[in-house]
Structure 1
Amino acid sequence: MAASEQVEVELKFDVDPGHVAPDLRALPGVVSATEPETFSLDATYFDTENLDLAGNKITMRRRTGGTDQGWHLKRPTDIPGARRELQVGFDEARADGEIPEALVTPVLAITRCRKLDPVAVISTTRTVTRLLGVDDEPLAELAEDLVTAQSLLPGGHSQQWAEWEFELLSGGTTKLLKAADKALRAGGGRSASSASKLARAIGSTPTVHKPRLSKRPTALELVITDIALHRNSLIAYDPLVREDAEDAVHQMRVSCRRLRSVLSGYPTVLDAERTDHIGAELKLLARILGDARDSEVQLELDQSLLRGENASPELLAALAGAETRNHDRAIRAAHAAMSSKRYFTLLDSIDALLASPPPGPDAELPATAVVDQAIAKSRKHIRKAQADLADLTEGSVEWQEQLHKIRKRAKRLRYSIDAAEPLNKKKYREIGAVAKKIQSALGDFNDIRINRAHLAAIVADEKLAAADMFIVGRLDARLEADAYRAVAEYRKAAKDL
């Protein structure tokens, strides 16, 4: 189903009903203004019984009237005063039909299996004046709204109010926005009492959990703060993975691994019996996402290797064709897993953990004491793995697998230290930097190892022409040299651990 998305940047003000807006034609860059035009807008807003969308500052509505009637989904952005608006017109989805899938999918990580029902109806009499620049370029719109809202929640009531909305259009600038803010406040506008019409209609709602650290945080405070951070990251990347956005699979996988690393790296801070199942589910989800991510990495590596080579279509197909098919299958598997009840149950379990953390035996210890203990334990495990590596024949399969084990342990150390970032300790950052270098070098080595195995399989298949076989040999030699460099970088970094 076709949908369009844009970022809207607007100002919102409360005003007294009937108060006339000031003339904005004197604002910087404005040459003229259109005649005011009045519309009647009728909107029905949807949310879950728990108001999950409102709690995340998201609105979903079906609106008739005006120039953009249809289904709308508005979500926050990192830009102050800006929101992403996804629209599906009534030519694509009926006004009296079900909510379009294009609006439901981006918020599945928030709504999960919960039903979306009407929570408010809002009618607006809107008078719009458009500000124009040179050559009638649209700069901004001023909407003077008279609003009548009816909450459909238990105990909800109706209310009326007036407000102004000033929205930048394609030619608008930050300078114009600042000038409009000043002029509208001088003309009688007051800071908006609510972020949106829906928020004012239904009143207070639960909000996303944002724990705060005290000046001398306990281990439990630190761990819960980090879990909340990565939970929010996981939720943020979910819709991006569903739309196959660049690097989204990688970032969502990292969020899973970081969440799991906090649980495994600080096992005595929370009650393990009540959190082990979360770690196991996160491990499974990371593995599913990992299949897609690994194929992405191999595709990128293949493309970089072939750059400048006169490869035949057959070699291109042998290198990238199978990997592309693998990636497509892995993405479909990830999407299926992310639409399953099991996935939504995992998200519910993380939210329940944040809302009511089950303390472990070390929960009330100072955060620094527990971090020091976790770092010491991780470094000990890495050094043990390095000692075992020394007993293996360099280049053997067992030796390569041991390097992979060291990489995973370095990553666990790094994530444990990242959790301690709010403590702002220089010694933690220094150790974390070393762990990152080890992880990065051995990660490169592992990617190279997988790609060399892929090249070996292509050669064993004996279907390529002699010229292509020569290219494959040259690619393998380059990868072998890269592998030596990666191991050298690891050894250099390991001296500082």
Structure 2
Amino acid sequence: MADSKREIERKYEATPETRLPDLTRVAGVSAVVHRGLRELDAVYYDTEDLRLAAGSLTLRRRTGGDDAGWHLKFPVATGIRDEFRAPLADTLPSSLAGLVRSRVRDAAVAPVVRLRSSRDVHHLLDEDGALLAELSVDAVRAERLAEDGRGRTAAWTEIEVELADDQDPAVLDAVERRLRKAGVRPSASASKLARALAETAPKRRRTKAAEGTGPRTAGDHVLAYVRDQITAVVDLDPAVRRDLPDSVHRMRVATRRLRSAFKTYRKVLDRTVTDPVGDELKWLAAELGIDRDQEVLDDRIRARIAALPRPLLLGPVRGRLRLWSVAGRTGSRRRIVSVLDGKRYQALLETLDALLADPPLLPGAAQEPAQALPKAVTKDYERLATRIGRALEQPPGEDRDLALHEARKAAKRARYAGEAARPALGKPAKRFAKRMKAVQTVLGDHQDSVVARDALRALAVQAHGAGESAFTWGLLYGQEEAAAADRERELPEVWAEAADPALRTALKG
């Protein structure tokens, strides 16, 4: 994996005549040390259709300065980016190529812009001589390298202030106040690359923007939701590769929301087209969940063990859980990365792009949102009501557990249906989704207990076979059984709130 750091910086407009104010008058800044002039030469890479730029990513190969090499930057928030670095090489290092694969796919990555900058560097130091921030005045010369605008150039001057590692961002606020007082204003461009692309782009005939470009029809709203979930999958790909916390879970949720939307809004999107896509999304979610599910189960059992008084821990309980946990894992991150690099996943991303480019809309897509969306949401509610009724009719036992699990999946789908309809239907859809989430939570806790009991029984069998006491595993099994019973007693009350007819009446306006 490439080296990484978080970059927090701000950019300001300047001219060759701009003079810096006295920055020692900035709170906390005791000295400003001039570090001299540096000549930087950076070539920025992208696909022919600028897929990286569309996602506000920058990929460059830079020489000059003290950080020569390949740099890849991901946006985090305004003025904040995560930067990944790899050593200088003639071709794009594989460590960075993987992080952009979900966007570029099989498209070639080639030079699009060359930026040469004369950077005048100043260090802002505190009273102990520690670096607070680096301020540079950059004279930039941009040249378009891509075929559609080859040879077009632009030039400008800007001021860049980058926060030093582990320093308080309030430093940047204080510097900005001083710069503004001196008449220096923030840059209109988020990055040098964005400005270079804008100022060297070939002139094309501008068309009048269509009035009312927001979603109008039911199809517009459903496609907007689908687009958001597809974007989430693509955006989370690099985070999953980096094994960032919660990234696998969030990508799985995006795939589930997509599948639910395809099923819920079957009068809007043609399921003969979306069903095969849903099957591939189900495959991806399963691959992502292999070790995630094991991790969640481990955490649940470990927490129960930690809560037990020491006298009730008979035998090597923690060691037995550790062995069982290791045996249940499959090489986690390495396996996931191989899936993300595989042809099947790449083909799925292409299919999702094609679905957005040419959506399989049915006649129902042209209906008013207030007409079509409540019908779809209500249908998912009715499906959930049927499953809840069947589950509650079952006597306690395996059949009831299975029925409650099916109800849980229906609750999740109804929740996602409400969330998808919220932009069109407003607060009624929000309230509906919230009530469905409450039902899903109760049923989810119940299912987690069912899964945990299966695991605890297996652990008890292993312990007994090894000549260890199975007492603690039996005790934990009983705790999980009691927790499941609590959820079953809680369900009727939670369901009564969710089944309030006023919720569905409000959806229909």
Is the TM value for this pair above 0.5? yes
Secondary structure of 1:77 counterpart: strand
Query: In 2, are the aligned partners of 1:74 and 1:85 still within 8 Å (CA)?
Result: yes
Q: 1:476 Cα deviation (Å)?
A: 0.9
Q: CA deviation at 1:233?
A: 2.1
Measured against aligned partners, the alpha-carbon deviations of 1:300-344 in whole angstroms (never above 9, x if no partner) come to: 112112114455784334323233343344544332221122212
> Is 2:22 aligned against 1:4?
no
In the TM superposition, residue 253 of structure 1 has moved relative to its aligned partner by 0.6
459 and 153 in structure 1: CA distance in 2 versus 1, 3 angstrom threshold: same
* One-letter amino acid matched to 2:448: D
Which residue of 1 is the match for residue 71 of structure 2? 72
Q: Counterpart of 1:112 in structure 2: which amino acid?
A: R
Give 1:406-417 correspondences, 5 Å limit: 406-417=407-418
SS at match of 2:329: helix
Match of residue 348, structure 1, among 347, 350, 371: 350
State the secondary structure of the residue aligned to 1:268: coil
Equivalences for 1:396-411 in 2 at 5 Å?
A: 397-411=398-412
2:505 equivalent in structure 1: none
Matched, 1:389 2:355: no
Contact 1:318 1:458 in 2 (8 A): yes
Counterpart residue type for residue 292 of structure 1: D
Match of 1:150 among 138, 143, 151: 143
Q: Does 1:184 align with 2:179?
A: yes
- Report SS of the residue matched to 1:417: helix
Q: Which moved more, 1:415-424 or 1:188-197?
A: 188-197
- 1:87 is aligned to 85
Partner of 1:224: 223
Q: Distance in 2 between matches of 1:444 and 1:171?
A: 40
Aligned length: 483
1:294, distance to aligned residue in structure 2 (A): 1.3
1:188, distance to aligned residue in structure 2 (A): 5.5
| Matching residue's letter, 1:194 | S
In 2, Cα distance between equivalents of 1:226 and 1:187: 45
Q: Aligned partners of 1:255 and 1:213: how far apart in 2?
A: 28
CA contact (8 A) 2:387 2:406 kept: yes
Counterpart Cα distance in 2 of 1:234 and 1:477: 39
Residue 324 of structure 2: aligned partner: 322
CA distance in 2, matches of 1:373, 1:65: 61
- Contact (CA 8 Å) 1:213, 1:225: kept in 2 or not? no
> CA offsets, 1:253-282, max 9 Å, x none?
111101111111101112333333322211
Q: Return the alpha-carbon distance in structure 1 between the equivalents of residues 242 and 170 of structure 2.
A: 34
CA contact (8 A) 2:263 2:271 kept: no
Deviation (angstroms), 1:56: 0.8
Gaps of 5+ in 2: 202-209, 500-509
Aligned to 1:208: none
Q: What residue number does 1:271 align with?
A: 270
Q: Is the 8 A contact 2:118 2:139 kept in 1?
A: yes
Residue identity opposite 1:375 in structure 2 = V
CA distance in 1: counterparts of 2:344 and 2:253, whole angstroms: 20
Q: 1:401 to 1:212 in 2, by over 3 A?
A: farther
User: Which residue in 1 is equivalent to 2:36?
Assistant: 37
What displacement does 1:465 show? 4.1
**Equivalences for 1:278-297 in 2 at 5 Å?**
278-297=277-296
Q: Secondary structure at the match of 1:362?
A: helix
Match for residue 130 of structure 1?
A: 123
Post-superposition shift, 1:427? 3.3
> Is residue 39–residue 119 contact of structure 2 (8 Å, CA) maintained in 1?
yes
TM-score (norm 1): 0.89
Is the CA contact 1:138–1:171 (under 8 Å) kept in the aligned structure 2?
A: no
Aligned residue identity for 1:103: L
Which secondary structure does the structure 1 equivalent of 2:261 belong to? helix
Deviation string, structure 1 residues 2-41 (Cα, Å, up to 9, x no partner): 51322x2222123223543333222222111112411111
Distance 1:158 1:313, change over 3 A: farther
Asked if 1:257 corresponds to 2:256, the answer is: yes
Deviation per CA, 1:343-375: give whole Å up to 9, x if none: 122223323333443321211212122222122
Q: Measure how far apart 1:422 and its partner are.
A: 1.6
* Aligned pair partner of 1:202 in 190, 197, 215: 197
User: SS at 1:84's partner residue?
Assistant: strand
Q: Secondary structure at the match of 1:194?
A: coil
Q: Which runs of 5+ in 1 are unaligned?
A: 206-210
Change beyond 3 A, Cα 1:167–1:330: closer
Q: CA contact under 8 A between 1:113 and 1:341: conserved in structure 2?
A: no
- Greater shift in the superposed pair: 192-201 or 150-159: 192-201
Per-residue CA deviation, residues 371-395 of structure 1 (Å, 9 max, x unaligned), is 2212221122122223333553321
Classify 1:369/1:213 alpha carbon distance in 2 versus 1 (closer, same or farther; 3 Å).
Answer: farther
TM-score by length of 2: 0.87
Q: Which residue of 1 aligns with 2:439?
A: 438
Q: Deviations over 1:109-147 (max 9, x none)?
A: 222232322222222111101111121121222111122
Q: Deviation at 1:251?
A: 1.3
Q: Partner of 1:121 in structure 2?
A: 114
Could you say which residue in structure 2 is the equivalent of 1:489? 490
Q: Does the aligned pair in 2 maintain the 1:302–1:320 contact within 8 Å?
A: no
- With over 3 angstroms needed to count, the CA separation of the structure-2 counterparts of 1:383 and 1:212, relative to structure 1, is farther
What is the match of residue 370 of structure 1?
A: 372
- Partner of 1:72, secondary structure, is strand
SS at match of 1:398: helix
Deviations 1:475-496 (A, max 9, x none): 1111111111121222221223
Q: 1:284 to 1:2 in 2, by over 3 A?
A: closer
* Identity across matched positions, percent: 34
Letter in 2 for 1:51: L
Deviates more, 1:327-336 or 1:160-169: 327-336
